[in-house]
Amino acid sequence: PSGARLIPDFPVARSSSPGRKGSGKRPAAAAAAAGSASPRSWDEAEAQEEEEAVGDGDADADGEDDPGHWDADAADAAAFGASGGVRPHARALAAEEIRQMLEGKPLADKMRPDTLQDYIGQSRAVGQETLLRSLLETNEIPSLILWGPPGCGKTTLAHIIANNSKKHSIRFVTLSATNAKTNDVRDVIKQAQNEKSFFKRKTILFIDEIHRFNKSQQDTFLPHVECGTITLIGATTENPSFQVNAALLSRCRVIVLEKLPVEAMVTILMRAINSLGIHVLDSSRPTDPLSHSSNSSSEPSVFIEDKAVDTLAYLSDGDARAGLNGLQLAVLARLCSRKMFCKKSGQTYSPSRVLITENDVKEGLQKSHILYDRAGEEHYNCISALHKSMRGSDQSASLYWLARMLEGGEDPLYVARRLVRFASEDIGLADPSALTQAVAAYQGCHFIGMPECEVLLAQCVVYFARAPKSIEVYSAYNNVKACLRNHQGPLPPVPLHLRNAPTRLMKDLGYGKGYKYNPMYSEPVDQEYLPEELRGVDFFKQRRC
Ligand SMILES: Nc1ncnc2c1ncn2[C@@H]1O[C@H](COP(=O)(O)OP(=O)(O)OP(=O)(O)O)[C@@H](O)[C@H]1O
């Protein structure tokens, strides 16, 4: 992926990053910091303020003891020398101010854009030339299904539509299929009918995670979408062709949102970083003059390494919520550990700089559980570990890998599908009811969703770990497939006696001739079922034919 080159693996200490110096290329975060990202803040006035050149310093030359703390004098003397790559952004904010801004509501919610202008990426769905964009601009909102991976901006797009609709006196009601009941939907529809008939007001109903509604719950909307009582906007991470009723789907426009690319993630993160008044250290410009902080308070300023931003953008895997929350955790953890550090060492002196390093953001991501990458390698590693643990009849390990996936946000249906496969591949005829168990677990997960379905999967996983195993059928079937693959020349014809003969002509050609209908015989029937050239082959015994 393009993002891979954004995070070359070089040590934290700037003095040991010749690769970056030499390449002359600036990482995405530094490039964004240098100009393009438009600062946004909770306080618009602050964001408008002219950028000031603030802060200076660098990490400890070895970056080991406590890379997050250093003081201006030490930094000046470090390898970075009297120069550095501090990229100025918004007004210098003190660490304490930043900590207060980060407490409470998740950063991702605070940063949720209100307008399409601030909505990053997704140009295929809502770019300038798209139909949806013109519809949104003229406030002609069709019923929509927003389909895309987590954190790519589905709810945000709905939020932007809601903002716009309110300006045009359109009601916007939000329900989440994770906790709404059918009666809640009925109430919304009833109110929408009243609003429509008495006040001629339209209602847009946004249902988050619409795939969690079962088919009959989805049927509740159908007539009301049809007659225009409500405009439905559903958001789903699941393929709507399987998870949304066909009839409902045909009345909605499906908008496919994509995983945010690394560049878009950098822009989103940089906006948050600017809003917080955190400064980015540009490692590609080691000779920039280090200016002293313009922060008037005695509190330290907060800095982040540009490679930390790039790493965050890359590891967030297109999920802006994960990236922003990872940033929030990294900054908060670093600010809190600064306090602890001072306490522990009994210092009264507070370090004048706080640096967020690449390691801090990696830890932040781990804490927000997103290092479990649902689309990438970790997804396959964990399912493989689960499969092997069940095969090895280790029930504890099986439960562990199951929980690792589910707690990491894995789709329970993905796990359930693997269990169906395992039931036949590894247990097979040693316990044929395993297949029934797996299919039942799949259906149960489909009915009740997470988190309730986790115990269904846990039960099935333990059943499978404890079950006797047989690969007899699986191996025999593989032998048959190998036989077909290795066959030279045209495949042998189906023996005439095994062919059906529904017409006179076929009978005349010998179809079905000599076939012995088994139920007519009380003793075992001597009859060939394989093609002539395979006579005597036993796929259950041999590995290859
Ligand atoms: N395209 C975007 N532009 C700017 N910010 C975005 C964008 N997409 C997501 N974000 C940020 O990420 C946060 C989470 O996004 P959002 O809630 O829209 O994701 P979602 O696709 O609905 O995810 P989920 O399926 O997990 O509910 C938002 O609050 C916002 O701060």
The answer to whether the CB of 36 falls within 8 A of the CB of 267 is yes
- For ligand 1, is residue 445 a contact (CB within 6 Å)? no
Which residue's CA is the nearest one to ligand 1's atom 25?
150
99-104 mean pLDDT = 74
195-207 mean pLDDT = 91
**What is the pLDDT, as a whole number, of residue 517?**
96
- For ligand 1, is residue 126 a contact (CB within 6 Å)? no
Q: How far is the CA of 153 from the centre of ligand 1 (A)?
A: 3
Q: Is the pLDDT of residue 472 over 50?
A: yes
- For ligand 1, is residue 171 a contact (CB within 6 Å)? no
Q: How far is the CA of 142 from the centre of ligand 1 (A)?
A: 21
pTM: 0.57
In this predicted model, which residue has the larger pLDDT, 336 or 513?
513
Q: How far is the CA of 437 from the centre of ligand 1 (A)?
A: 37
Where does residue 131 rank: exposed (0-12), middle (13-18), buried (19+ CB within 10 A)?
Answer: exposed
Closest alpha carbon to 416 in 391, 373, 447, 392: 447
Beta-bridge partner residues of 207: 175, 234
- How far is Cα 394 from Cα 78, in angstroms, rounded to an integer? 53
Which residue's CA is the nearest one to ligand 1's atom 17?
155
**What is the pLDDT, as a whole number, of residue 91?**
52
As its CATH architecture, domain 377-470 has Up-down Bundle (1.20)
507-533 mean pLDDT = 95
Which residue's CA is the nearest one to ligand 1's atom 8?
153
Closest atom of ligand 1 relative to the 272 alpha carbon: 31
- For ligand 1, is residue 235 a contact (CB within 6 Å)? yes
Closest alpha carbon to 19 in 10, 32, 28, 6: 10
Confidence of residue 354 (pLDDT cuts 50, 70, 90): confident
Report the Cα–Cα distance between both ends of the chain, in Å, rounded.
43
**What is the pLDDT, as a whole number, of residue 90?**
46
- For ligand 1, is residue 153 a contact (CB within 6 Å)? yes
- For ligand 1, is residue 146 a contact (CB within 6 Å)? no
**What is the pLDDT, as a whole number, of residue 181?**
81
The answer to whether the CB of 178 falls within 8 A of the CB of 449 is yes
Contacts of 153 (CB under 8 A, 6+ apart): 119, 120, 121, 122, 257, 260, 320
- Which sequence spans correspond to the domains of the chain? 1-86, 122-256, 262-365, 377-470, 490-534
In this structure, of 48-62, 134-148, 497-511, the range with the lowest mean pLDDT score is 48-62
Q: Could you tell me which CATH number the domain at 122-256 has?
A: 3.40.50.300
326-348 mean pLDDT = 66
**What is the pLDDT, as a whole number, of residue 8?**
28
Which among 105, 144, 155 is the best mutation to test ligand 1's pocket, defined by most ligand atoms within 8 Å of the CB? 155
Q: Could you tell me which CATH number the domain at 262-365 has?
A: 1.10.8.60
Closest atom of ligand 1 relative to the 260 alpha carbon: 1
